């Protein structure tokens, strides 16, 4: 094992669920907030739920992108998979897709923008 992989290995999270592009996930992130005049930092957790359209990179540098429609506008957010900001990743449903990067979904609206649900065998 080379030294870089070894350094990265110490950063890896062990409790990441198995998920693929096409799955719907809910990502819980913790953000620090500084409210106006007070100097105290407040931690707040936020969740972002949507379709995983991409997983990219390897080791500590792996990222994934979640897409959702918010108030009629498509919103995509890319997270570093092993970031300590991410508190939880929950797989809501598994999708049945034929490609690794679901960029085609950006051009689709309404019914066409759906992903088939995986049939449990």
Residues lying near other proteins in the complex (CB under 8 A): 2-4, 7-8, 11, 32, 59-61, 80, 82-85
Rank residues 4 and 100 by Cβ distance to other proteins and give the closer one: 4
For other proteins, which is the closer residue by CB, 87 or 114? 87
Minimum Å gap between C-beta 62 and other proteins is 11
**Are 83 and 61 in contact, with CB atoms under 8 Å apart?**
no
Minimum Å gap between C-beta 65 and other proteins is 16
Nearer to other proteins, 12 or 100 (CB): 12
CB of 35: closest distance to other proteins in angstroms? 18
Question: How far is residue 90 from each of residues 5, 71, 85, measured CA to CA in Å?
Answer: 27, 23, 15
Cα end-to-end span (Å), the chain: 38
Rounded Cα distance, 51 and 55, in Å: 12
Shortest Cβ 118–other proteins spacing (Å): 32
Nearer Cβ to other proteins (11/49): 11
Burial of 84: CB neighbours in 10 Å, binned 0-12, 13-18, 19+: exposed
Which of helix, strand or coil describes residue 114?
coil
């Amino acid at each position: 094992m080379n030294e870089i992989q070894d350094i990265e290995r110490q950063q890896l999270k062990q409790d990441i669920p198995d998920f693929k592009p096409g799955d719907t996930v809910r990502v819980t992130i913790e953000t620090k907030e500084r409210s106006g005049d007070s100097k105290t930092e407040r931690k707040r957790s936020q969740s972002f739920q949507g379709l995983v359209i991409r997983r990219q990179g390897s080791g500590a540098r792996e990222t994934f992108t979640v897409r959702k429609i918010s108030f009629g506008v498509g919103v995509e957010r890319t997270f570093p998979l092993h970031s300590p900001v991410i508190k939880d990743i929950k797989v809501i449903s598994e999708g049945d897709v034929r490609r690794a990067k679901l960029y085609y979904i950006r051009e689709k609206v309404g019914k066409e923008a759906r992903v088939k649900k995986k049939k449990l065998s």
